[in-house]
């Protein structure tokens, strides 16, 4: 009994300590986004101010790097989501030669260290005489984002009930109508989840981007890496805080919408 009581005390305490440990860097980033720093460094608290939030683009190079990252992430996510959704449906619904090999190969980018993948892609583009820049970075991002989209959407496809699509065909709907009115809405939660995961991975990537950019562009992670040796400006903390808050809003909004949808379905039943 004493050991059971001790376990009930230790587990919550351990959970709280682990959560605090994980949240300390986030709290630090948000707090120092309000720091009234005037020099190159932002490591010493010099007073509270909203000036950095009101004029986040005072450092134009910071905003330029964010725009670059957003553009690359948007294009990479769009292409990876379209291709990944098609591949996931094909792997689950159709039988073809080499399906097991294709399914296995999709896990390789997820298991391969980014240094190896980045160096390998850089060598490949060099041998193909590709000029490093936006094109090579986007192609590289599509490659490693594709696997995450396929895995996410594939799990959703496997849970679909084929009876729903058969009912649509029984009601004289053509294959296009069945897909867009039945299959696609049912797959949409998985597609959105895969797209969000792909966007975050692309926006956050540094190593693969560094190997394949050729110094022709500077993304937000690359800007932070370069600025870290001189002192990360407070504007970086502001943008990082914005990204974190936006992620929280999206997660909470999705959860609330899902709960509302489930309550409506329960009322209908």
> What is the sign of the dihedral through the CA atoms of 5, 8, 11 and 15?
negative
Q: Read off the pLDDT band of 246 (50, 70, 90).
A: confident
pLDDT tens figures, 176-235: 888 888 888 888 888 988 998 899 899 989 999 999 988 778 888 888 888 777 667 778
Q: What is the mean pLDDT of residues 116-139?
A: 89
Calpha distance 48→78 (Å, rounded): 40
- The whole-model pTM stands at 0.81
Give domain 61-231's CATH number out of 3.30.420.40, 1.10.3720.10, 3.40.5.50, 1.10.150.120.
Answer: 1.10.3720.10
Q: What is the mean pLDDT of the chain?
A: 84
pLDDT of residue 149: 93
Calpha distance 204→227 (Å, rounded): 16
C-alpha dist (Å) from residue 241 to 2, 56, 187, 206: 44, 12, 31, 19
C-alpha dist (Å) from residue 22 to 19, 213, 246: 5, 31, 18
Calpha distance 90→67 (Å, rounded): 35
Exposed, middle or buried by CB within 10 Å (0-12, 13-18, 19+), for 83? middle
Q: What are phi and psi of 97, to 5 degrees?
A: -65, 135
Q: Which regions of the chain does DSSP assign to beta strands (E)?
A: none
pLDDT of residue 34: 85
The two three-digit tokens of residue 211, written as one number = 């190997």
Taking CB atoms within 8 Å and a gap of at least 24, the contacts of 39-44 are 39/231, 40/230, 40/231, 40/233, 41/230, 41/231, 41/232, 42/231, 42/232, 42/233, 42/234, 42/236, 42/237, 43/231
Q: The tokens 């609330």 sit on which residue?
A: 256
Region class of 172: left (phi > 0), else alpha (psi between -120 and 50), else beta: left
pLDDT tens figures, 212-228: 988 778 888 888 888 77
Contact 165, 31 (CB under 8 A): no
Calpha distance 84→154 (Å, rounded): 9
Q: Read off the pLDDT band of 86 (50, 70, 90).
A: very high
Calpha distance 187→156 (Å, rounded): 6
Q: What is the mean pLDDT of residues 46-62?
A: 80
Contact 203, 242 (CB under 8 A): no
C-alpha dist (Å) from residue 143 to 60, 79, 97, 187, 203: 31, 10, 22, 22, 14
Domain boundaries, the chain: 1-34, 61-231
Does the pLDDT value for residue 60 go beyond 80?
no
Question: At what angle are helices 134-158 and 184-204 packed, to 10 degrees?
Answer: 140
pLDDT tens figures, 139-166: 999 998 999 999 999 988 888 877 877 8
């Amino acid at each position: 009994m004493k050991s059971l009581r001790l376990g009930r005390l230790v587990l919550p305490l351990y959970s709280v300590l682990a959560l605090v440990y994980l949240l300390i860097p986030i709290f630090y980033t948000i707090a120092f986004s309000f720091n009234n720093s005037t020099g190159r460094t932002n490591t010493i608290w010099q007073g509270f101010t909203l000036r950095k939030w009101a004029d986040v683009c005072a450092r134009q190079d910071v905003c330029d790097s964010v725009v670059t990252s957003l553009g690359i992430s948007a294009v990479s996510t769009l292409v990876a989501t379209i291709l990944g959704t098609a591949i996931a449906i094909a792997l689950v619904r159709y039988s073809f030669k080499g399906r097991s090999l294709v399914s296995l190969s999709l896990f390789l980018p997820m298991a391969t260290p980014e240094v190896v993948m980045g160096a390998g892609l850089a060598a490949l583009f060099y041998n193909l005489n590709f000029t490093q820049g936006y094109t090579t970075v986007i192609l590289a991002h599509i490659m490693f984002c594709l696997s995450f989209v396929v895995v996410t959407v594939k799990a959703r496809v496997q849970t679909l009930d084929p009876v729903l699509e058969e009912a649509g065909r029984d009601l004289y709907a053509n294959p296009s109508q069945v897909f867009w009115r039945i299959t696609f809405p049912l797959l949409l939660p998985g597609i959105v989840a895969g797209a969000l995961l792909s966007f975050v991975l692309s926006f956050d990537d540094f190593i693969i981007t560094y190997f394949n950019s050729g110094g022709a562009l500077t993304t937000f992670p690359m800007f932070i890496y370069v600025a870290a040796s001189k002192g990360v400006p407070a504007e970086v903390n502001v943008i990082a805080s914005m990204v974190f808050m936006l992620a929280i809003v999206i997660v909470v909004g999705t959860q609330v919408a899902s709960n509302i949808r489930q309550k409506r379905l329960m009322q209908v039943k």
